[in-house]
Amino acid sequence: MPDPVDDVIVVGAGVIGMATALELAERGRRVHILERGRPGGESSWAGAGIIYPAFPKCATNPFERLRAVSFDLWPAFAARMVEDVGFRRCGAVVIEPTDADLERVVAEHRRAGARIETPDLREIEPNLDAHGQAYRWLPEVCQVRNPRLVRALARLLTEQGVRISSGVAVKSIVDRKGSVAGVELENGERFMADTVAITAGAWSADLLPQMRLPIAPVRGQIVLFRPQNRLLKSIIDADKHYLVPRDDGRILAGSTEEHVGFVKETTPEACDELRRFAIQRVPKLADAPVETSWSGLRPGTPTGTPYLFEDRERRGLWIAAGHFRLGLQLAPGTAQLLADWITGRESFARPEDFDLAADRKDYRRSFTA
């Protein structure tokens, strides 16, 4: 029996892989996603889903354009889903220990075009304790419910005719005289295609050992509170952590950044740290039970910005990985960019803007998510 042949194979069914597959399928490509676990079950499921504002008119480099295009696409992207994914504008309170610290952070948001206000904190978040620290209000910050989003994406892809194979571990890339020819699984089975997109998050570097992608897992832990009453309306960004209020009253407290390899588990120490942070900022959370906690492995990079390019040695082999804490934020723009390149369309950036040799000194990543 001949090996199955597709137009495009996407390795990794996180939000980046699924969004890219959706974009390609809507352009008429026959797409097959191979996922080692379950669709959206890793970093995409585990994150908090914070989406900070950015606008094209303010973008001065390719990374800022990617952020701006993604933010612009998010409302329509969420509206394409077959269920409510919790996408909404909720705003964020940014708190820093000193005026100088606050001005540094706010300056980066302002460069992206975000609206910055200083309302009376008691009026917008009466249960929040700023402890006298400097703060600003960013009314355009949005959020999305990660588990709902990845579930809706998988369902929409199935309706679009995209095959998703779960529990399938890719071993290596199949080459053919300077081009990609498909992938080989750990069980020896092969799937053939002229285009392969590696969107495997923290596992991407292991699939491309000769490329030496500087992508490594960074564990993040989150604690979920379930208070009896609604205590927050806005995201709270403070102390290098965040609080995210969901529309059902639950509150996420996150997150850690731990370099522990591929060890995905929660620890009492981290959960205690996050609980202390949450209660310090919202004292009424002391009476709220912790419903659950979890962890995820983000694809970390030296600059916190992704690698998006075609392999120069093997035509048709595309990489879209290393989004670190920005996978949800950048998913719509990344999908459009990769689909544009694969289908030969003009786009808002070039592969060389995000390859291994790109100069990233002006690519900023100071936004928690």
> Considering the chain, what percentage of its residues have pLDDT values greater than 90?
93
Question: How does the average pLDDT of the chain come out, rounded?
Answer: 94
pLDDT in tens, 161-215: 999 999 999 999 999 889 999 999 999 999 999 999 999 999 999 999 999 999 9
| pLDDT at 305 (0 to 100) | 94
Q: Where in the chain is the domain with CATH 3.50.50.60?
A: 5-82+146-213+302-353
pLDDT in tens, 109-122: 999 999 999 999 99
Class for the domain spanning 92-139+217-300: alpha beta
Q: What CA–CA distance (Å, rounded) separates 277 from 257?
A: 15
Class for the domain spanning 5-82+146-213+302-353: alpha beta
Helix boundaries (H) for the chain: 15-25, 43-46, 62-79, 99-111, 121-124, 146-159, 204-207, 268-281, 327-343
Q: Is 173 helix (H, G, I), strand (E, B) or coil?
A: strand
| Nearest alpha carbon to residue 221 among 330, 292, 295, 306 | 295
CA dist 239 to 113, 196, 298, Å?
24, 41, 20
pLDDT in tens, 317-334: 999 999 999 999 999 999
Which amino acid is it at 152?
A
| pLDDT at 369 (0 to 100) | 43
Let me know if 5 is exposed, middle or buried by CB neighbors in 10 A (0-12, 13-18, 19+): middle
